[in-house]
Structure 1
Amino acid sequence: MSRSSRRRKHAVSQLNLMVVGFSSLGKTSFIRMLYDTLCRLKEDIEPPTSLSKRAETAQDAEATRTKELYSFTLDIEEEGEKISLTLVDCPGFVRDNELRLDVQVTEVLRYIEAQFDQTLAEETKVKRNPKAQDSQIHACLYFIDNTNNGLTDKDIRILKRITARVNVIPVVAKADLLTTTQLANLKKAINRDIKQHKIPVFDFPVDEEDGSESETAAEVLADIQTQIPFSIIAPEDAELIDPSTSEKILGRQYSWGVIDCLNPKHCDFVVLRNVLLSSHRKLFKDITLELYYEQYRTERLMARKASKMITKEQKKKLMEDLQEI
């Protein structure tokens, strides 16, 4: 094995994901399900307490609700690649307090920008750290309430703010509460609102290169685009058996049957998981660095330059005032 091959074998790719949305939409439940399906390289690492607590009553739900932003990192392996995965969970946005809602969204943006600041600070060092970690948020899942007929005015306002700083992927929460027709209609309504209000969510661009291989990739991407926003169903805390296979599943039990949360026919979790961890992982990172970070970096450098110019003008005016005395 060549030296370069050994380096690739031991290389670890970093991926940082965030979940946001209004309260009680299952954001933490999604992180818990993702955690349960990961191939962890270190099984002795315990998940945060918030993931181990499951709500069985309304009181439990309130007690286990995410109160403040937190993150944790796992070393995982996906399709033979080692990934250092950081998951960031945010408190649910409030629905009945406009001022508090704006503050919450600002806090999310400040966290994202703080990660950009770390990169900018590293870039300005005379001697950079070759082992510096990439803490930038590469993708953000925005959970949408399934009880609305599309996006609300608050959703639109929030999305317009956060899409300026991060790749945003819309997600329909608790899709098991909708019939197939209702879910299809809701997805159409959400996509209509996104287009109408020109919200730049991640649109899964298709590679237009020639060749049969790229044609196959284009077909796959086209299929993914038809599923946006992705529908998510979180499993309940119970041991369930698939009646058709007699195997244990992550799902939900109803009087009419069982939902398998990992069955693509029931929800889009498996597709979304593959998009995040495999097929689009590099693209998320490239866009974050080349678009969102560069845009933020330019804004910060221009702001610093403007600040220095203002200071010079103030000094000049002060000297002129002193001469008049």
Structure 2
Amino acid sequence: YKPIVEFIDAQFEAYLQEELKIRRVLHTYHDSRIHACLYFIAPTGHSLKSLDLVTMKKLDSKAHLPFAVIGSTEELKIGNKMMKARQYPWGTVQVENEAHCDFVKLREMLIRVNMEDLREQTHSRHYELYRRCKLEEMGFKDTDPDSKPFSLQETYEAKRNEFLGELQKKEEEMRQMFVQRVKEKEAELKEAEKEVKCGLVC
């Protein structure tokens, strides 16, 4: 499951990096985040493998996982037509037949009806969870040390002010050091000037 999770996280990371830029152009950004993940399980007829369970559990917080779909890559002759279907000892399951499986409903739901809802849910649920974790790693939290909630904007401003304060302090230290060196150099020049004058007079 790791390559799948890493790929989904990489798409979230790319969007986050675009969002954190000083000059953001999200309206023209090609959003490559994953809005739905179709997880195909081998038709063994037995229970799910532990790998399938672990993978689906890991993917649940990363993307939408539609449930219960029968699919097939095989084409069987049913009547006079070749149709996508799966042959079982007890009969034939037609992929395009709504009485047999949910594939047609799923396709309708994903592509025609709920695509925008899936995008919105990806942004507000899965991406926000990823974003919150990443920002917490960077030192931004939704609560202060006393566990009082405050906004991310306030946290950002506080961190920014703290950084600017440190920057001003360093600038002042460098300015003082520069002034000190100038004074030392002036003193050296005056001393050298006195020696030159003394040499000319003497």
TM-score by length of 1: 0.38
1:111 partner SS: helix
Residue 235 (structure 1) aligned with residue 69 (structure 2) = no
Indicate the residue corresponding to 1:121 in structure 2.
Answer: 17
Aligned residues: 140
2:47 partner SS: coil
2:139 partner SS: helix
d(CA) in 1 for partners of 2:91 and 2:128? 50
Q: Which has the higher helix share?
A: 2
| Structure with higher RCO (Cα < 8 A, 6+ apart) | 1
Q: Percent sequence identity over matched residues?
A: 31
- In the TM superposition, residue 119 of structure 1 has moved relative to its aligned partner by 1.0
- In the TM superposition, residue 158 of structure 1 has moved relative to its aligned partner by 1.7
d(CA) in 1 for partners of 2:92 and 2:54? 37
Indicate the residue corresponding to 1:297 in structure 2.
Answer: 131
**Could you give the per-residue CA deviations for residues 167-208 of structure 1, whole angstroms, max 9, x where no partner exists?**
1124xxxxxxxxxxxxxxxxxxxxxxxxxxxxxxxxxxxxxx
| Structure 2 letter corresponding to 1:235 | E
The 3 A distance-change label for structure 1 pair 123 and 273 is: same
d(CA) in 2 for partners of 1:161 and 1:254? 31
d(CA) in 1 for partners of 2:100 and 2:45? 21
d(CA) in 2 for partners of 1:148 and 1:259? 14
Structure 2: tracts of 5 or more residues without a match: 141-158, 160-202
- In the TM superposition, residue 115 of structure 1 has moved relative to its aligned partner by 0.5
- In the TM superposition, residue 279 of structure 1 has moved relative to its aligned partner by 2.3
The 3 A distance-change label for structure 1 pair 264 and 113 is: same
- In the TM superposition, residue 139 of structure 1 has moved relative to its aligned partner by 0.7
| Structure 1 letter corresponding to 2:20 | T
**Could you give the per-residue CA deviations for residues 211-264 of structure 1, whole angstroms, max 9, x where no partner exists?**
xxxxxxxxxxxxxxxxxx22223333x7x4x42xx4554446899987643122
- In the TM superposition, residue 137 of structure 1 has moved relative to its aligned partner by 0.3
- In the TM superposition, residue 298 of structure 1 has moved relative to its aligned partner by 0.7
Decide which of 158, 170, 178 is 2:55's aligned counterpart: 158
| Structure 2 letter corresponding to 1:231 | I
The 3 A distance-change label for structure 1 pair 232 and 250 is: closer
d(CA) in 2 for partners of 1:290 and 1:301? 16
Quick check: 1:231–1:269 contact (8 Å CA) kept in 2?
yes
Quick check: 2:70–2:95 contact (8 Å CA) kept in 1?
no
d(CA) in 2 for partners of 1:152 and 1:256? 24
1:131 partner SS: coil
| Structure 2 letter corresponding to 1:121 | Q
Q: Which has the higher strand share?
A: 1
